[in-house]
Amino acid sequence: MVSERPNGRLWVAQTPHNPTEALSQTQLVQNKILAHQGSSPTPIFSAVKQMAKGMEALAHSVTLLTEENKSLRQANEALSKRRRAPKKRLQQRGVLTSQDAQALLAQNDVDRQVEEELRSGSGSARGNLPGRRRCGNCGNTGHNARTCQVDAQIVDEDSDA
């Protein structure tokens, strides 16, 4: 089945493989329908069948590419999250056993649960009121570890001995 394109070249009824061919195929079918008056509809059916075949192939291709694109985006997002994740380093540069690692992971889970409970307000009766700061050495309020008198007394006693 042959028809003339707008650019003067002939178009053969075939399965379109790109949008330009699909448009040309559409024009061919339209021209055949207009010129049909009293002739056999077989060439028109043939052209429509070819168009349908091409459109089906394009639809399958678009579906496959859409799914591939979706899976690649998910993989990219997972990789980005992994790269953005905070990295924990060992401070003492010692050996980390599997038991120590499991303990650290369990502690992280507990810490995360406590944070979530505190955020939701169900963690304590005080609510979100800030607590008083305490010394890291003796645990008393009113000073910090740098100015702790208890620590200074222990150092003095050690140096006297």
87-110 pLDDT, tens digit each: 776 666 677 778 888 888 899 898
Q: What pLDDT does 72 receive?
A: 96
Q: Which DSSP string do the residues of 66-105 spell out, in sequence order? A: HHHHHHHHHHHHHHHHHHHSPPP--SS-----HHHHHHHH
Average pLDDT, integer, range 40-62: 80
pLDDT of residue 137: 83
Each domain of the chain, given as residue ranges in start order, spans 2-81
**Distance, CA of 26 to CA of 47 (rounded, Å):** 9
pTM for this entry: 0.36
Kindly tell me the burial class for residue 44, based on how many C-beta atoms sit within 10 Å of its own C-beta (0-12, 13-18, 19 or more): buried
Q: What is the mean pLDDT of residues 75-80?
A: 92
* pLDDT confidence of residue 123: 47
Average pLDDT over residues 25-51: 77
Is the pLDDT confidence value at 130 over 70? no
List residues bridging with 141 in a β-sheet.
Answer: 134
Angle at which helices 19-34 and 42-84 pack, to 10 degrees? 160
